[in-house]
Copies of this chain bind each other. A is one copy, B any other.
Amino acid sequence: MRAKFVLSEAATGLWRNVTMTIAMIITTAISLALLGAGGLLYVQIQETKDLLRNKVEVMVFLKDDASPQDKKALEEKFRDDSLVRDFEFESREQAHERFKELFKHSPDFVAGVSKQALPESYRVRLKNPGDYSALADEYKSEKGVSRVSSQQETVSQLFAMIDAIKNTTFIVAVMQAVAALLLMANTIQVAAYSRRREVSIMKLVGASNWYVRLPFVLEAAIAGLIGALLAWLGLVVAKVMLIDKALKPIFTSGLIPVIEWSDIMMTGPILAMVAIVVAGVTGWSTLRFYVKV
């Protein structure tokens, strides 16, 4: 069979069933845009979680009377410790700065806290954030140490919340994927259904399955591709309009990573592939269903 013939069949098919073609393109575009948005959101939240994981620190607070020797001993112990990735000393001044920075939205509290109220501390980052309680146990009774803040409760609460959001976005993304598949398959089925007479005539004239189905599948795939392109353009517009403009205040807080252009770019080929595969498989299998001859 000649490719040229099949392609021209597909092209004229698209043109002559404009209604169906437009329907197919719109449906695909909307479905895929939803799917893409869901996917991006999911990736986003996963990244937020990773970002936060790397920020987990164990704070080893020093007694007010901790001697320089105590500090040296501690630092050596940190260096030799296999759990520790790196650590940092924080003076009272630094602590106060950080405190002001952290609670800059509550200046009234900052005002009430004097520099001397904040203790010196070591801020220890772990190789594996899961180990924080082990580390806390290890250091809490060292000389010069007043208290080890394991942040355990805080971190686990935060992570529980992020996990909840992540699961939700995952479920939403999956549901949108299912919806997208259903909508696309649906539209292709209706297209096949509306062609059943045409196809049965072709088969009676001796056209093979390939001959009848390939142009149809190609049509669906082309429509799907155009739909994917539109969906992707939609995401680009959303990036420019929403993410870079409307949502700026959120991203400047730094807690949530910005959705990068590279992420958006990557969705393009993925959406296109989904469209083509769905169109191909549904198109191929569905025609058989409606035409028995």
Chain A residues with CB under 8 Å of chain B are 19-20, 22-23, 26-27, 30, 33-34, 59, 61, 95, 99, 102-103, 105-109, 111-114, 117-119, 121, 147, 149, 151, 153-154, 157-158, 160-161, 164-165, 167-168, 171, 179, 182-183, 186-187, 189-190, 193-194, 241-242, 246-250, 253, 290
In the complex, the 7 A-B pairs of residues with the closest C-beta atoms, listed nearest first: A108-B149, A105-B154, A161-B249, A112-B118, A30-B179, A19-B193, A23-B186
A27: which B residues are within 8 A, CB to CB?
27, 183, 186
Further 15 A-B residue pairs, CB within 8 A, beyond A106-B154, A109-B118, A165-B250? A19-B190, A19-B290, A20-B193, A33-B179, A34-B179, A95-B112, A99-B109, A105-B153, A105-B154, A108-B121, A108-B151, A112-B117, A113-B117, A161-B253, A164-B247
Given contacts A19-B190, A171-B242, contact A250 B183 (CB under 8 A): no
Report copies per complex: 2
Interface of A is mostly: helix
**Beta-carbon nearest neighbor of A37 in chain B:** B172
Report how far A54 CA is from B107 CA in the complex, Å. 20
Name the distance in Å between A59's Cβ and chain B's nearest Cβ: 5
Chain B CB count within 10 A is highest, among A22, A61, A117, for A117
Given contacts A23-B186, A183-B27, contact A161 B250 (CB under 8 A): yes
**Pairwise interchain contact B194-A164, C-beta atoms closer than 8 A:** no
Chain B CB count within 10 A is highest, among A30, A114, A151, A250, for A30
